[in-house]
């Protein structure tokens, strides 16, 4: 058994779905396949937008809903032979009737609750999976549409529900224990709680669905089909020469995931990694390209740097003061204050002098971080032991990633040498003992230059 | 008014005290002077050892006490003209009689309380200051012995008492408001609480006494006389070519203070820095050498790296796990656990991937740190979200220090380039946004080589 | 200005509303009047029941809704002269159309959120107040319907919203600053948050509305019209000879409020008591009876016991153990445990031996109280210092209330003497230093007898 | 085996010790006996006073020490036949030599640490037990002096050390496993920690020693010999007709222990009660009187009230306010505040109205209780939800004690009836569900009258 997952751009329209059909038709020659699909590209956002309109008593929601219906009906007409369209057309219409009722309810109540939002958004994957299921049916492929809401059990935290893995694995296995099929078509992203209310899996949800099924059926491989040919050595929007990465470890993939592109969201593939199931990232629109193979343990390759990641809109907080020397507890109070305000800590660095600690956070959190920390240390600030928190914004983090760095002294020298030679000022540095990642904080103005300099240094020269 | 402080090696014997006398005699030509002295070199340890012997009912304490008495009486005889000895000899004998009574009490009770320990140890500075006062008396210098216990008021935390600055400043100022003298001789290290029990000021206590007096009398300068010609660019025991630093900022001095030599303990000089009083570090045994001038604000010099510091016996803790991504609160729990166990955090680094945090602590704390952190995260460890804490020991931190680094891009490149070229593996890196310090964690085996490589790179070539 | 409030039974149907009309018509002869009304008796429960049916996709909700509409339309037809009915009939129908839409929304979404529940339930008071407003209009009385949602501003805690008193007082005062009217008709119970979403005021909400208006307009009096002739000396369902209380202090009224009848819920009248506005409890169906006057300070009367209150379904928790003696902190841990589990403490008694503490709580909370307390004291229980918590259920509290008790020694003797003579065993006793209340814990079997014995002793004999 | 313990007044001088000798000589006819003795009456206080003098450099400590020595030597001479005195006289002198050394140490250091205080005070019991051991030796009784410091192991909390029961029981049992003797003479009150430093057992320490030995040797009985003929129905200094109590349960004895006389401190006898060993309280000076038998379970007797206890110098705190109704957490915050300030709570009463809680504490704690509680509730006080804490002082608690009260309805009626008839105003009442104790808070002026009234009612009339 293998699991293939196709994202929204891969199923954006009938032309694309045709490509998916070809890939899957070829895949099932090898072994039985679970096919997980996202909603048609753009549909999820439209469903939510329509809900927002309805809750604000804006009747144009009906127009948007009509357009969505038309788009799905057109796709059905393009995908299926004319004599096989009617059942699917009527199935699609039925879904839109249901949706229509829900939107009317939202309109009448002027309220869009998290529970209703999950119900609404689930139609995107329901529709796409039903249509694709019908497509394979029309090709006489032995396929079964599987309702993932009956398989994946979660808690009731609508919008970002937590999976009950024990129950879910049991559900899936009992589902697949019945008469086997060549192909199972599964809507991604959606699940249900113990009261049978529809829930959704949050960010990266369809990948998560795919990984959960792959883990439960002990799949031979999980393939994530997207619109790029795998993970890249750097953000291709910033670096013209960015190249695909052929093999990468799970750890490295996690380190690289901060990329703008965000091809995969690492926590979603955890279920397969813990079972050592290989993950491929492939391109629907260039299926012959190698793509990226994510393995649990990094194979030794000739290139020991895997890629360059970057995060923008960073603020650096600096807490300094001679009063901090040798007194345990400052760090705890600092991070407790940030945690209480739900400020996510992206980078920390405290060098050996012990009287200055530096924390990188998202720029949007900087005002509340400043306020809460100055408040927590108000006594020390008044008595001159600690200075008011310094906040610098307009920064970015650029990180070099690679598990084999560890055995290659000199990476940091080469990295900071290249930046220095190009006059790029580094505001803070952090490298942990796992040595999979060296992060440098820079002015946002220097990011593009820095990434290109580093890419040239590590990927475009013959340095080894 | 100026304040001069002489440490234990400067007053170890009559020959050295003679050098001190010359320096001070010359200094008072310039302006009235406060002279703060430590106990004769080695005496503090002997006083404590004698107390320990007495409390363990070991009668040899009497022998050690006798030896100490002889050493002080001999010094008096060497220092003073024969016809002026008797008063001072009898004063010294009286102090030893008092000490004798205290040691007898300790012997009888078999108990050495913190309060009694402070009483005992105070005799070291009392004796040295009385002898030096007598010396200046014999030279017909207009001098006054000042009992610092009457000047510095602390709480009753024996062994490491906290100064009540408001009361202390008032005491000192009313003392100095009386008939002025050319020279005031003050015992360092000792103070008293509001019940007139003797207390001591902890680590670096005599420097602290000097800084407190300098601040209270608004001194023109504070001179710390020691046995080296100022702060050095690196630990001279490790780097043969280490050179004295002529000018350094207070901030830089704090960053450099981790040196083995520990010439000054920065918190002790805080009282003068907040009043912008310059601090000189000078060599009693080479008084003509320039020494080091510590100023509040770093003057721009041609060398923008001030020195290289190192700390040995470091353990690196690494907490890793995919469960850490995007969840606020992990850092808080980690540092709370360390604070609860009073583990001092020396270096922190969390690079941008957010799923690994790395903390440098003293090796001696690593076992309890491991235990408490594994305990705090036991739920996450069991559920596989976090891995058990990794602890690596046998490490050292090497840090490059200099406030002007900030305006010189390329320092980090040069630093890590030099380490890399020499095959030195860097286990972790931290540089905060103040850019006064770049710290690298290395194997203890590489420290000597690393410091020499860096010293050569930054201090022995014409690099600017 | 005076404020009159009529509860649900007073406006249950057109016959009753006619009585209300008479009372109010007479009241406005005296001074301008604010009339606060509840929903028609039983309507609030029906509105909620209908919502529950709709959310469970039970289409019978439509029938119930229709019945409610008919009841209101019938009442309009009975209340108003036929030629003046049409406007009000159409107003009522319009409200039901809106309600219909909301219920449809609930039905479509299968969800009844707290926000929607508040919207639904608000129609009860909106309808009753509109109908009564029309009634007075038809009588040519100069009246104005006031939307209390525009007057009372709350937070968004739907179902039990907290009033923003500053904003509310301002709203009401600016409302009443306009052209004055003889009568203002105000729907009770409902309010709105800053986003103009409808909220409700929780238990006793219409009384609360009346008190809020009375306080804001500095009313001369607040009259609470209900279906009994004031507060009684004991629960009339238990004591045949229970008599009305003519005058009572606010403090006493609070003490007595635990009655089954719960004529008023004391926190709701706090706004008027803090302005010293007298509160009358009167009977719509016997308007000439004196009723009860609640004043801020208890007037001295010849009877110094005001009444007898009782609370049923009580459990007594007893924590005992020799390990409790003389150790501060046990009480704190006990009450912290109860507070963490949101267990409401009704009675506490710890007698002077310090090794036993006894707490009365609602029976429904006893299981979780037992569990949490045994857990909190598990160490002490294991080591034998404290015994596992004893829980006795099937108990009731009977309390004697009266502020002038204090000056009459012997009340407790008389009380317990009467109970003793009648063989009623008292399980626990509590009387605080305010001496407004003596509480006895009894078996539930003895409650009726105990209350009658005490009523006879204190109210039916000539004892003074 | 049986355990007899004699207090300080029983061994105050040689005449009294002679009485002890007679009682013990008779006891050992029955079975082997452990004899636990206190210091000679008054000696413990003198030892401490002498220590205080020495630590304050007051040389009169030598005089007091001399007087104590003389008193002990005189007692030896009176107790022993002249030809057998010398060994004991020299033993006593040796103890005083040791004490002399310790006092000299205290004098020299000017410091009396808790550890040294324990060492000093231990000589009281060491001396008395050695002298009494010698007395029995001179009578040719087969006796052994047992060093209780070698038997009872505690932690190092000097002045009030906590017993390690497991280690202690093992020590004692191994001690008694050797060759048996008729009589073992044991110094009470003293013990040692694991470093063999002498510790003491705190309040009631000699009773505690006796109970620990009795429990460890599974004694048939523990006899506490004192200077009164057992526990009394009321404090004989207040009630002329107070009578001895012949039998009482352990629970009742705990309830009664608040008496001025404080014959026993209940926690000290816990070790025997948990083994069901009966405890007798007997009078050394009237050995034929019955005394009091304390049993684990109360035997049914004809009198169901055991006694009347009283506690003076009580303050009542009252926290009131309408804001307290129905909100969990008020009690917790109140008792947390008291616990943080180490205020011992003696009586609590919260009657059923839930908006007033009343706490009885020692008068000395009332100022800090007021301050901390007003502080904790400052927000509620400012917003008028709670009134500032009321504190009433000059109060006492009078309590009726008896386990069989429970089966006799009417006790409370009789109690409060008697107080009422006599015009005694009761400020607060508490009776817990164990029904072993009814406590009433009264003005201190009324206490004597109240106790006499109650004593007459329950003990001097034929009421049953």
Does one domain contain both B208 and B321? no
Which of C266, C328, C355 is closest, CB to CB, to D343?
C328
A and D in touch (3+ CB pairs within 8 angstroms): no
Predicted pLDDT at B21: 95
Among B186, B204, B227, give the residue marking a domain's end: B227
SS3 A433: coil
Please indicate if any CB of chain C lies within 8 Å of the CB of A108.
Answer: yes
Please indicate if any CB of chain D lies within 8 Å of the CB of C443.
Answer: no
A301-305, A451-455, C138-142, C427-431: range with lowest mean pLDDT: A301-305
| Chain C residues whose beta carbon lies within 8 Å of the beta carbon of residue D414 | 416-417, 420
Please indicate if any CB of chain D lies within 8 Å of the CB of B113.
Answer: yes
CA distance B116 to chain D (A): 7
Q: How many CB atoms lie within 10 A of CB C82?
A: 7
Whether residues C322 and D351 touch (CB distance < 8 A) is answered with no
Specify the DSSP element, H or E, that contains A85. Answer: helix A85-109
Which of B109, B115, B119 is closest, CB to CB, to D105?
B109
Phi/psi at D341 (5° precision):
-95, 10
Q: How many CB atoms lie within 10 A of CB A73?
A: 17
Residue D137 has pLDDT above 70, yes or no: yes
Q: Once rounded to an integer, what is the mean pLDDT over residues C125-132?
A: 96
Residue B324 has pLDDT above 70, yes or no: no
Whether residues C348 and D329 touch (CB distance < 8 A) is answered with no
Task: Please check whether residue A77 lies inside any domain of the structure.
Answer: yes
Domain residue limits at C205: 2-227
- Output D204 or D453, whichever has higher pLDDT: D453
Phi/psi at C430 (5° precision):
-140, 130
Predicted pLDDT at D297: 72
Burial (Cβ within 10 Å: 0-12, 13-18, ≥19) of residue D287:
middle
B213-217, D48-52, D232-236, D250-254: range with lowest mean pLDDT: D250-254
DSSP 8-class letter at B457: I
> CA-CA distances (angstroms) from residue D346 to A431, B48, C435, D363, D439?
60, 49, 19, 11, 11
Q: How far apart are CA D35 and CA B319, in angstroms?
A: 61
Whether residues D356 and C326 touch (CB distance < 8 A) is answered with no
| Chain B residues whose beta carbon lies within 8 Å of the beta carbon of residue D104 | 104-105, 108
| Chain A residues whose beta carbon lies within 8 Å of the beta carbon of residue B410 | 416-417, 419-421, 423
| Chain C residues whose beta carbon lies within 8 Å of the beta carbon of residue A104 | 104-105, 108
Does one domain contain both A45 and A175? yes
CB pairs under 8 A between A and B: 272
CA distance B265 to chain A (A): 11
Does one domain contain both A71 and A175? yes
Does one domain contain both A222 and A312? no
End-to-end CA distance of chain C: 39
Which pairs from D368-372 meet CB under 8 Å and 24+ separation? D368/D341, D368/D343, D369/D315, D369/D317, D369/D337, D369/D338, D369/D341, D369/D343, D370/D317, D372/D337, D372/D338, D372/D340, D372/D341, D372/D343
- CATH number of the domain at A334, please: 3.30.2130.10
Chains with at least 3 CB pairs less than 8 angstroms from chain A? B, C
C and A in touch (3+ CB pairs within 8 angstroms): yes
CA distance B366 to chain A (A): 15
Predicted pLDDT at A411: 84
DSSP collapsed to 3 states, chain C: CEEEEECCHHHCCHHHHHHHHHHHHHHHHHCCEEEEECCCCCHHHHHHHHHHHHHCCCCCHHHHHHHHHHHHHHHHHHHCCHHHHHHHHHHHHHHHHHHHHHHHHHHHHCCCCHHHHHHHHHHHHHHHHHHHHHHHHHCCCCEEECCHHHHCEECCCCCCCCECHHHHHHHHHHHHCCCCCCEEEEECCEEECCCCCEEECCCCHHHHHHHHHHHHCCCCCEEEEECCCCCECCCCCCCCCCCECCEEEHHHHHHHCCCCCCCCCHHHHHHHHCCCCCEEEEECCCCCCCCEEEECCCCCCCCCCCEEEEEEEEEEEEEECHHHCCCCCHHHHHHHHHHHCCCCEEEEEECCCCCEEEEEEEHHHHHHHHHHHHHHCHHHHHCCCCCCCEEEEEEEEEEEECHHHHHCCCHHHHHHHHHHHCCCCCCEEEECCCCCEEEEEEEHHHHHHHHHHHHHHHHHCCCC
Q: How many CB atoms lie within 10 A of CB D15?
A: 10
- Non-local (6+) Cβ contacts of B445 within 8 A are B394
Predicted pLDDT at C437: 83
Please indicate if any CB of chain D lies within 8 Å of the CB of B339.
Answer: no
A154-168, B444-458, C312-326, D260-274: range with lowest mean pLDDT: D260-274
- CATH number of the domain at A19, please: 3.40.1160.10
SS3 A187: strand
Task: Please check whether residue A258 lies inside any domain of the structure.
Answer: no
Report which listed range, B366-380, C300-314, C421-435, is most confident: B366-380
CB B30 within 8 A of CB B182: no
Which of D105, D115, D119 is closest, CB to CB, to B105?
D105
Phi/psi at A279 (5° precision):
-120, 130
Closest chain C residue to D358 measured between Cα atoms?
C432
Please indicate if any CB of chain B lies within 8 Å of the CB of A424.
Answer: yes
End-to-end CA distance of chain A: 39
Predicted pLDDT at B350: 82
| Chain D residues whose beta carbon lies within 8 Å of the beta carbon of residue B102 | 108-109
Please indicate if any CB of chain B lies within 8 Å of the CB of A419.
Answer: yes
Please indicate if any CB of chain D lies within 8 Å of the CB of B202.
Answer: no
Q: Within 13 Å of residue D201, how many CA atoms lie on the same side as its CB? A: 27
Q: How far apart are CA D299 and CA C59, in angstroms?
A: 70
Residue D350 banded pLDDT, cuts 50, 70, 90: confident
Determine which of A100, A107, A109, A197 to mutate to test the interface with C (most C C-beta atoms within 10 Å): A109
Q: How far apart are CA A186 and CA D355, in angstroms?
A: 60
Does one domain contain both A166 and A32? yes
Closest chain C residue to A118 measured between Cα atoms?
C109
SS3 B303: coil
DSSP letters for D128-160: HHHHHHHHHHHTT--EEE--HHHH-BB-S-TTS
Task: Please check whether residue A388 lies inside any domain of the structure.
Answer: yes
Residues D105, D109, D112: CA angle, nearest 5 degrees? 80
What angle, 0 to 180 degrees and rounded to 10, lies between the N-to-C axes of helices C61-79 and C14-30? 50
Number of domains in chain B: 2
DSSP letters for B79-118: HS-GGGHHHHHHHHHHHHHHHHHHHHHHHHHT---HHHHH
- Output B269 or C62, whichever has higher pLDDT: C62
Does one domain contain both C87 and C215? yes
Residue C425 has pLDDT above 50, yes or no: yes
Q: How far apart are CA C206 and CA B239, in angstroms?
A: 85
A418-422, B364-368, D45-49, D257-261: range with lowest mean pLDDT: D257-261
Among A211, A227, A243, give the residue marking a domain's end: A227
Phi/psi at C331 (5° precision):
-60, -45
Determine which of D279, D310, D353 to mutate to test the interface with C (most C C-beta atoms within 10 Å): D353
Plot region of B358 (φ>0 → left; ψ -120 to 50 → alpha; else → beta): beta
Closest chain A residue to C197 measured between Cα atoms?
A110
Does one domain contain both A60 and A185? yes
CA distance B135 to chain A (A): 38
Residues D390, D393, D395: CA angle, nearest 5 degrees? 125
What angle, 0 to 180 degrees and rounded to 10, lies between the N-to-C axes of helices B61-79 and B14-30? 50
Which of D267, D328, D427 is closest, CB to CB, to C322?
D267
Report which listed range, A85-94, C273-282, C309-318, is most confident: A85-94
Task: Please check whether residue D446 lies inside any domain of the structure.
Answer: yes
Please indicate if any CB of chain B lies within 8 Å of the CB of D109.
Answer: yes
Please indicate if any CB of chain B lies within 8 Å of the CB of A383.
Answer: no
Task: Please check whether residue B252 lies inside any domain of the structure.
Answer: no
CA distance A207 to chain B (A): 16
Whether residues C113 and A108 touch (CB distance < 8 A) is answered with no
Please indicate if any CB of chain B lies within 8 Å of the CB of A436.
Answer: yes
CB C429 within 8 A of CB D431: yes
Which of A101, A104, A116 is closest, CB to CB, to C111?
A116
Please indicate if any CB of chain C lies within 8 Å of the CB of D279.
Answer: no
Bridge partners for C361 per DSSP: C315, C345
| Chain A residues whose beta carbon lies within 8 Å of the beta carbon of residue B334 | 335
Closest by Cα among A149, A279, A267, A143 to A223:
A279
Please indicate if any CB of chain C lies within 8 Å of the CB of A199.
Answer: no
Bridge partners for A395 per DSSP: A314, A443
Task: Please check whether residue D250 lies inside any domain of the structure.
Answer: no
Whether residues C352 and D349 touch (CB distance < 8 A) is answered with no
CA distance D143 to chain C (A): 35
- Non-local (6+) Cβ contacts of C360 within 8 A are C314, C315, C316, C317, C345, C346, C347, C348, C395, C397, C428, C441, D352
Please indicate if any CB of chain D lies within 8 Å of the CB of C260.
Answer: no
DSSP collapsed to 3 states, D269-314: HHHHHCCCCCEEEEECCCCCCCCEEEECCCCCCCCCCCEEEEEEEE
C and D in touch (3+ CB pairs within 8 angstroms): yes
Please indicate if any CB of chain C lies within 8 Å of the CB of D391.
Answer: no
Does one domain contain both C100 and C208? yes
What's the length of chain A? 464
Residues C137, C138, C144: CA angle, nearest 5 degrees? 5
Q: How far apart are CA D123 and CA C26, in angstroms?
A: 93
Specify the DSSP element, H or E, that contains A117. Answer: helix A114-138
CB D269 within 8 A of CB D280: no
Task: Please check whether residue D245 lies inside any domain of the structure.
Answer: no
Report which listed range, B306-320, C400-414, D291-305, D336-350, is most confident: B306-320
Among D196, D227, D258, give the residue marking a domain's end: D227
Strands (E), B384-425: 390-401
Closest by Cα among B303, B454, B455, B313 to B396:
B313
Does one domain contain both A201 and A313? no
Bridge partners for B33 per DSSP: B2, B183
Q: How far apart are CA D338 and CA D417, in angstroms?
A: 34
CB B201 within 8 A of CB B163: yes
Q: How far apart are CA B203 and CA B206, in angstroms?
A: 9
Determine which of B51, B100, B105 to mutate to test the interface with D (most D C-beta atoms within 10 Å): B105
Whether residues C102 and A109 touch (CB distance < 8 A) is answered with yes
Predicted pLDDT at C299: 61
Does one domain contain both C10 and C143? yes
Does one domain contain both C66 and C160? yes
CA distance A119 to chain C (A): 9
The predicted complex's ipTM stands at 0.60
Whether residues C108 and A101 touch (CB distance < 8 A) is answered with yes
Does one domain contain both B218 and B322? no
Could you state, in chain order, the average pLDDT of each consecutive group of 10 residues for chain A (464 residues)? 93 92 95 96 94 94 95 95 94 96 94 94 96 95 95 92 92 89 96 94 89 95 91 87 87 71 70 88 93 78 79 90 64 82 83 76 92 85 84 92 77 86 87 80 92 90 53
Task: Please check whether residue A96 lies inside any domain of the structure.
Answer: yes
Q: How many CB atoms lie within 10 A of CB A49?
A: 12
């Amino acid at each position: 058994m293998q699991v293939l997952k196709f994202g929204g751009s891969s199923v954006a329209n009938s032309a694309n779905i045709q490509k998916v059909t070809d890939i899957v038709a070829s895949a099932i020659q090898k072994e039985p396949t679970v096919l997980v699909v996202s909603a048609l590209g753009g549909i999820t956002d439209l469903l939510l937008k329509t809900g927002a309109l309805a809750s604000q008593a804006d009747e144009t929601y009906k127009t948007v809903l009509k357009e969505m219906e038309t788009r799905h009906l057109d796709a059905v007409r393009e995908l299926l032979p004319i004599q096989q369209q009617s059942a699917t057309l009527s199935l699609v219409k039925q879904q839109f009737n249901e949706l229509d009722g829900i939107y009317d309810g939202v309109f009448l109540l002027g309220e869009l609750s998290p529970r209703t939002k999950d119900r609404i958004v689930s139609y995107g994957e329901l529709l796409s999976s039903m249509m694709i299921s019908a497509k394979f049916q029309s090709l006489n492929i032995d396929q079964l549409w599987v309702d993932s809401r009956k398989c994946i059990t979660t808690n009731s935290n609508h919008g970002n529900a937590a999976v009950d893995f024990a129950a879910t694995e049991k559900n899936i296995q009992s589902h697949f224990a019945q008469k086997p099929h060549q192909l199972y078509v599964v809507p991604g992203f959606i699940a249900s709680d113990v009261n049978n209310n529809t829930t959704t899996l949050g960010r990266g949800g369809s990948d998560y669905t795919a990984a959960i099924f792959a883990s439960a059926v002990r799949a031979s491989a999980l393939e994530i089909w997207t619109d790029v040919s795998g993970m890249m050595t750097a953000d291709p929007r910033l670096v013209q020469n960015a190249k695909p990465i052929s093999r990468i470890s799970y750890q490295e993939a996690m380190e690289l995931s901060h990329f703008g592109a965000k091809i995969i969201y690492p926590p979603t593939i955890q279920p397969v990694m813990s079972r050592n199931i290989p993950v491929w990232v492939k391109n629907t629109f260039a299926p012959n390209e190698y793509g990226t193979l994510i393995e649990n343990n990094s194979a030794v390759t000739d290139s020991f740097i895997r890629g360059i990641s970057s995060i923008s809109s960073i603020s650096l907080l600096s807490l300094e003061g001679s009063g901090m020397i040798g007194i345990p507890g400052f760090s705890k109070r600092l991070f407790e204050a940030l945690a209480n305000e739900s400020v996510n800590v992206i980078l920390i660095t405290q060098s050996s002098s012990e009287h200055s600690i530096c924390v990188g956070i998202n720029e949007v959190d900087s005002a509340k971080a400043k306020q809460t920390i100055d408040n927590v240390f108000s006594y020390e600030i008044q008595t001159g032991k600690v200075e008011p928190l310094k906040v610098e914004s307009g920064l970015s983090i650029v990180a070099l990633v690679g598990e084999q760095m560890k055995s290659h002294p000199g990476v940091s020298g080469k990295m900071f040498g290249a930046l220095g030679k190009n006059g790029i000022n580094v505001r803070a540095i952090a490298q942990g003992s796992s040595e999979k990642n060296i992060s440098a904080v820079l002015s946002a103005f220097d990011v593009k230059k820095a990434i290109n300099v580093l890419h040239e240094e590590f990927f475009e020269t013959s340095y080894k």
